[in-house]
Structure formats: C-alpha cells, structure tokens
Structure 1
C-alpha cells in the first residue's frame, strides 16, 4: 500500500537524494497492543496471522481490514508499553508523544536534540530509549540547500526514566 503523506523533518518535506522525488510514509512502525490489535492505523492481528491471507490473491484483501485510528505526524519510530500506550516521535518538532489506547495524545518531551528519533525502545529497567539518528541529514534525503550528509557526530541515545514497562510481546 503506497503511503499518502510525504515524510518531513524540521518542517521540511523530504526528497530522495537519488531521484529528487518526495518520499512517502510507508508501513514502517508496527506495534502489537496487549489486546492483540494495533493503533494509529490498525488491523486486527488475526488478519496478519491468517495463513489464507498470505498467498498473493488473498494478501490484496488486507487493506480492507485496516482502520484509521489516530492522526500522527511524520514519525521515525514507535514503542509500546504494557498498558498499550504507543510512544512516537515527531520529526518536525523534535518531540515525543504518547498515544493512549482511547486515542488521546499527550506530549512527553520536546528538545531540539531529539532530531529524527528512530527505533524507540522500552527497556526492562523501565526506561524509554531514543536514538537521535538525524536520518534526515544523511545521504538518503535532499535537505534544504541540497547539502548532502550533514549529520553531526556523535549520534546520541537519550533516555527517560519514569516507570514505563515494556509490552510482554515486545520482549519475548
């Protein structure tokens, strides 16, 4: 399924460095809630696990089971906790947001250093790990001014401690 929203970071639409074409959001993040169904856009896990849907003709039916759930920004990563809350990054605003199972959102952190947070991870020490990958500054995208690879090293990993527990299915 082709993405319908252009990727963006720091309020700039991102283009592929090799083609100059806009880059679209695809199905990148996948989280499984404690009840077995995901959020943002969601699909019941049974449809992903159903063997009959894995052949080519039946796989085309999967989009019929996807439901929109929450409007989220261009995000680099997600993590889910044991209560089904999804933590996601906002690449435009350098923020981390929390999406509750009922669809409400709340701001967790905002900092200019949280540039393209990717691969969020909830560890068993009840800490949220966030890698500031700066992917928008790498060779894949044409940044403003067309300067290729403006990643500033070192690349940092930040953490927030506040008692979050990882989802049991995420740590099996």
Structure 2
C-alpha cells in the first residue's frame, strides 16, 4: 500500500465560476481569463459548448456565431458538437476536443476534430481531422496534451493513443484497441460513495483510454480509464515506429491503483492530481508513490478535468456527470449552476513538495 503523507490545514475552496450548463473542463489564459468546456450530455442539450467567463462572472459563447449554435441534423464540421475537453498550453491559445456527436451517436464526416483558437479574438487557428487509419470507426477523441511540437490525444471509443507532430504534420496511432488501453472487468467506474454508475437498464459506461498526462521533461506518458489503474509508458517508446503495439504493451507499467476519477493534471515536480469521484476530493500522487489529500468537499460532485494556472491556482470543474441519466439509473439529477472551484496550491503538503503548472 502506498504511504500517505501527513498534510497541513486543508486549503479553502473558492467559487471561480458558475456555469449555466454541465461543465467538465476549465482552462485559464496567462492573463487570467477563464474558458469553460460545456459538453452536450443528455439533459444539457441547450449548451453552447465552449464559454468565456466575463469579469462580471457571466458566461458567454466562444468564439460565437455558428460555432456555438449547432443543432441536431446540422453540419458539425465547423461547429462545436460535443466538446469533451479544453486546454490552454504555453502559447496561450485554446484547444477544444470535439467528439463530433452527442453520447450514443456516431459523428458525421468532419465533425470529430481538434480545434485551436485565439483566446483574444476567437479566430480559428487550426482544425485537425484525421483519416480512418488514425481514427477508425468507433474511435472517439477524449483529451489532449501538448509537449513541444507533439500533440497527444486519447481515444476513449476503441482505446488508443494518437500522437501528432504539429510541425511536420506526421501522425501515429499507438496501442489501438489493445487491452492495456481498454476498461477491464475488474475495475468498475463508480461515483460518490462508491455507487456503481449505470443507466436504467443496468448498462455500465464503456469508456476506454481517457485521462492523459505528459511530465514536464517529456519523458513519461500517463494514461488511465476512469476506473483505473493509472498506467505509464516512456514517450520515446511511443515514438519509436520500429516498435509494434505488442512491443509497446509489454513496456506499459502500472503507475498506481486509483479510485474512479474524472480528470487529472500534473505539476512540474511530477505530482499527479486526481479528481477522486468516489470520495469528493482531490488526491495528489507523488512520483515515489506517496499520496496526500489536497482538499475534500461535498461540492466536489464528479470533479473533472483539472487545470493549474501560471499563478499556481488549481481549478476544479464540478461536472455532476455521475447524475446524468446514462450514469444515474435513467434519472437526470444534474442542476445549474455547475460550479468551478479553485484554490491556491500550497508549496507543500506535509513533506510533499508541490510544483507549478506544466504548460507543454
């Protein structure tokens, strides 16, 4: 069992934003502007998908216009359809992961995409779409990270890792539908209090490789399905095209057994922050295996994708995803406002030192 470190007094959570729709992602510019990812889950169909938080706290569609006005039956190639993740990296631009179709549906051609936007003007800087060799039928983008020229994305539909070189345009698909990237029969996706998540018919979610991190040195790639475990593999091995998926699978290590999580982030000292959906808390996993509870609060209902800004403030979207019908026995228990909470990171928790944001 991993050691648990003694911690100081728990940091105080503040409300950073109140979203009108289910919010699973938050990203913050170097200047402090908040952006929200607002996915189109059942019961939250009216969402405008990506929002910018104004100084008065109101949330506005971003970038505006047709990008935020998609309706079923419309072309989704130049509109946000199902934004599962957002992120801001070192250059201050916003990336949005659009799965291209609401849950339970298949995306139309061109609808599934990765979109880069200018946070000041809303200009679309880049739209990445990939052929079936990279994203075969059933593949579904989940989250992304950037390190240098490399963009890493997980496929939670089939299981797999996509690596795209932003400079050269070359792309690799690794560990495609391999058991190491897929949910197993042992780890069960749970919500608050350990409740097993399932729909009205008792069907449990089938989410494959989901959460993703790359450490500050670009050495280790971490990934997990929501129910765990957390796994890792060297980036150099993923990039070695002489290695087959079978070769790579033999190199994947289990980094840690974890509770069911909604999201992660990593700091410059290699600490991984886990959104613990079973216990309404944020847990820190140190590189040496030690663990510490950063904060625990009943408002942390389905804490999701975490974000550390340049001032070392941690942002936590409380998505309430465990209460959507497909995970809550057919009943929609979500309600607005959907909180984004924040707290300044202490320099340490007991003997565990905490770092700053890894910006990519």
Say which SS state the counterpart of residue 256 (structure 2) adopts: coil
Name the structure 1 match of 2:338.
155
The equivalent position to 1:86 in structure 2, one of 244, 260, 272, is: 272
Decide whether aligned partners of structure 1 residues 136 and 166 sit closer, same or farther in structure 2, where only a CA change above 3 A counts.
Answer: same
Say which SS state the counterpart of residue 42 (structure 1) adopts: strand
Q: Unmatched 5+ residue regions in structure 2?
A: 1-178, 223-229, 347-354
Say which SS state the counterpart of residue 160 (structure 1) adopts: strand
Is the contact made by 1:121 and 1:128 (CA closer than 8 Å) also made in structure 2?
yes
Higher helix share: 1
CA RMSD of aligned residues (A): 1.9
The equivalent position to 1:6 in structure 2, one of 174, 188, 191, is: 188
Trace 1:1-172 onto structure 2 (pairs within 5 A): 1=179, 2-4=182-184, 5-10=187-192, 11-16=194-199, 20-24=202-206, 26-35=208-217, 36-38=219-221, 40-53=230-243, 58-141=244-327, 143=328, 146-162=329-345, 164-169=355-360
Deviation, structure 1 residue 159: 0.5
Deviation, structure 1 residue 89: 1.1
Higher strand share: 2
Deviation, structure 1 residue 65: 1.2
Aligned length: 161
Structure with max Cα Rg:
2
* 1:127-151 Cα distance to aligned partner (Å, 9 max, x none): 111000011111331x2xx352110
Is the contact made by 1:7 and 1:24 (CA closer than 8 Å) also made in structure 2?
no
Give TM-score, length-normalised by structure 1: 0.84
Deviation, structure 1 residue 51: 2.9
Q: Unmatched 5+ residue regions in structure 1?
A: none
> Could you tell me how far apart the structure 2 residues matched to 1:165 and 1:97 are?
16
Deviation, structure 1 residue 33: 1.5
